[in-house]
Amino acid sequence: MLLGLVILLSSVCYGQKQEIHILATNDMHANIDAFPQLAGIADSLRALYPSLLILSAGDNRTGNPINDAYKISSYPIVALMNQVGFNATTLGNHDFDVHSLAPLMGYSNFSYICANISSPDEAGLHIVPTQIFDVDGMKIGIIGLVQVNSQGHPDTHPDNVEGIKFSLPTETITQYEDFSHQCDATILLSHIGYAEDVKMANQYPWIDLIIGGHTHTQLSADEPLHNGVLITQNKNKLSMATHITLTINNGRVTDKKAEYIPVKCSTQKNLLVDAMVQYFNKNPYYEQVIAKADRSFKERDELTFMMCDAFIEETKGEICIVNNGGVRIDSLPAGDITMRDILSMDPFNNEAVEMHLTGEEITRLLNTYGRGSLYHLPRVGGVVCKASIDKKDKKKDRLKHIKVMTLDGKKLDLNRTYKVITNSYVASICQPLLNCSYNSLNVHTSDLLIGYMRKHGTIHPSGVNHLIVTED
């Protein structure tokens, strides 16, 4: 009789539904100023759900000099993630910027999960491909993936990942279906972009949840399930965070939902985290005023064109080519421009580089680098790029062809050699594409910006549109 009662109670317990609660972020890019509010949200959720998991889909660093230029680069973001109580993160491409990832791991109270990376022991990277968290008796399995480009590594300077090997996410994920069978719920922490996440969901329905990043795609609670898989992602810099609820019944996920929570406008603050942020921000070097903007820069392209003008003027170049992600802020208000503003705009410690390219090579470089995408098409200075996109493409991104013109409207001379200024990241990609050489100018691109702004004192958008887009 006693044995029968035990069996009956066990079956009742096993049949009970259980909720798993997760707070998810992605692409925080060292926006430490939003951490007091993020911590307040985490505190409120943890009061309701003590076993709350806090996860990041990568790109925790790069974009704030207070963090990036700290004596141990990116220590502030790690210290704050520790205090908030993050359980795990995957790696984003920008988490490899600057050689500080290994020492940071020693300070981290959370796991680094990434399945498509293989590093030598001497690199000191403590990374696991998967991890199972016991949450109130439920086994929550996590797999991590980072984006890999056509050169075989994430989008960072190749020197940052020297000696580290990466496999394609699509090849890696196939190895982990058996892992999912060990878990009550399987989560993919993905830094490969929204479109790739959708492909993953359609091909691998054994994944219950994809917490995505990389493309800064703002999703909403109305996002439909993809082949039964819930996908979440937010815009960068902690504008939003996601509260995810998974309902588990009899060892399988039977319901899943996402609530998107605004972070920056939240009135909840953790006072200890707020004090930590104030401490890290207390650096007068970054508050010094370098110049003034008499009109606001309302779009990123306006800032990129200004950057190109600065590079050309400061180096006596003829043409400038900058990757579309080379500027890391979306706008700049009228008023004082501080050192922090400039280093937030250009946070990568890239060197300025001089190349000598023919008009034909410049056109080929833009076409090849652009990969058929308006988003990926580099921005230029000293010339105008006329880009034609496919009018049938709903995303308005598919490139059909480009033309490079001089500022006075003439076709670029394909046979003439031009002095081209770019950054060391773009140059590292150009070299294998064009089999060309380049010379470092032994100055950081951010220093060119600082010199340009100090010399002019007051700056504003030039009014010249160096990228003219038409539909065809």
| Whole-number Å distance between alpha carbons of 188 and 181 | 14
- Identify whether 1 is part of a domain: no
Residue 253, domain extent = 7-281
| Whole-number Å distance between alpha carbons of 347 and 328 | 8
Whether residues 292 and 419 share a domain: the answer is yes
Per-residue model confidence (pLDDT) at position 304: 97
CATH number where 213 lies: 3.60.21.10
- Identify whether 2 is part of a domain: no
| Whole-number Å distance between alpha carbons of 351 and 330 | 22
Whether residues 275 and 361 share a domain: the answer is no
Per-residue model confidence (pLDDT) at position 15: 57
| Whole-number Å distance between alpha carbons of 95 and 347 | 13
- CA 147 to mean position of chain CA atoms: 10
Whether residues 338 and 320 share a domain: the answer is yes
Q: How many residues does the chain have?
A: 472
Q: What are the beta bridge partners of residue 419?
A: 356
Q: Which two tokens stand for residue 156?
A: 């960072």
Whether residues 268 and 294 share a domain: the answer is no
Per-residue model confidence (pLDDT) at position 85: 98
Per-residue model confidence (pLDDT) at position 19: 98
Per-residue model confidence (pLDDT) at position 322: 97
Whether residues 239 and 355 share a domain: the answer is no
Whether residues 236 and 315 share a domain: the answer is no
Global model pTM greater than 0.95: no
Whether residues 429 and 294 share a domain: the answer is yes
Per-residue model confidence (pLDDT) at position 122: 86
Q: Which two tokens stand for residue 34?
A: 């939003």
Whether residues 319 and 230 share a domain: the answer is no
| Whole-number Å distance between alpha carbons of 146 and 156 | 12
Please provide the DSSP assignment of 293-307 as one string. ESS-B-SHHHHHHHH
Per-residue model confidence (pLDDT) at position 430: 83
Helix extents (H) in 316-420: 339-345, 359-370
Q: Consecutive sets of 10 residues in the chain, 472 residues long: mean pLDDT of each? A: 45 69 98 98 98 98 95 96 98 92 95 97 94 98 96 93 96 97 98 98 98 97 97 97 97 97 94 98 95 97 97 98 94 97 95 96 93 94 96 92 95 97 92 84 97 97 95 91
**Number of structural domains in the chain:** 2
Per-residue model confidence (pLDDT) at position 437: 83
Nearest to 464 by CA among 395, 409, 412, 398: 409
The residue type of 372 is G
